[in-house]
Amino acid sequence: RSRGEARKVKQQVLEAEQTIQRVQAKISEIDQAMLDRPSHSEELARNRAALSKKLELAEEEWLKASQRLEQAA
């Protein structure tokens, strides 16, 4: 495999890691907001569920990209 492809896959791994970090931070914010504002918990729970799905997809992408990176090495 070419260096260019390995570079591209490495970038995908980094982007997935960044997405995971951002989504985890947002989930933490929502968790805190649910404690601070229980009256908004239904709406916050919906947002958290959507973010949890996004986190799952980002983790899957990270795993796939990491495996491709290992194969490229």
3-state secondary structure 28-67: HHHHHHHHHCHHHHHHHHHHHHHHHHHHHHHHHHHHHHHH
How far is it, in rounded angstroms, from Cα 11 to Cα 70? 13
Q: Is the pLDDT of residue 72 over 90?
A: no
Q: What is the pLDDT of residue 1?
A: 55
Assess contact for 32 and 47: CB atoms under 8 A: no
The pTM for the full model equals 0.85
Render pLDDT for 31-54 as a digit per residue (tens, 0 to 9).
999 999 989 989 999 999 999 999
Q: What pLDDT sits at residue 5? A: 85
Q: Which amino acid is at 38?
A: P
